[in-house]
Amino acid sequence: MPSFDFSSKVDLQTLDNAINVVSKEITNRFDFKGSHVLIDLNKKDFKLTLEADSDMKIQQIIDVLISRSMKQGLAAEVYDLSKEPYVSGKITKQEVPVRNGIKQEDAKKIVKQIKDAGLKVQVAIMDDIVRVTGKKIDDLQEVIQASKTWDLGIALQTVNMKS
């Protein structure tokens, strides 16, 4: 039976390249000359630490980060920007977790979206991927087309297509 997987993986090398491009661009910008800026990626925990002189500069770093990441092929949804920046002495800091893998509640949302579409496929949650299986490959292609309209707040990739 044909099947494919929904996943949300972030390639560490691509992420590291995007962070390096952002660091290089920020250090060369005129409005950041002489100010404290730190962009650090914790590769083990997939967490990004941003430090700057003000909240406005943190927001500028995030704007550059998203635009450069998209040029590197990363979706903007990989960054969890829900945490607010906080002031620590004279420096403003923000921790930005990088979403890697599909969490259980997001997997349940994906299953619900597929069930609501009324397509004749079976869906199974397997750790951090969601496997979709159907009798015909056309049914799977309908699921893929429907998934492009969902707004789940995560970057989905379709991988491991088998017929």
DSSP string, 78-125: GB-TTSPPEEETTEEEEEEEBP-S--HHHHHHHHHHHHHHT-SEEEEE
Q: Which domains does the chain have, with CATH numbers?
A: 3-8+101-162 (3.30.70.860), 12-97 (3.30.70.990)
List pLDDT tens digits, range 85-133. 999 888 999 999 998 888 898 889 888 888 888 888 889 898 888 899 9
Q: Residue 137: its pLDDT value, please? A: 87
Residue 1 or 91, more confident: 91
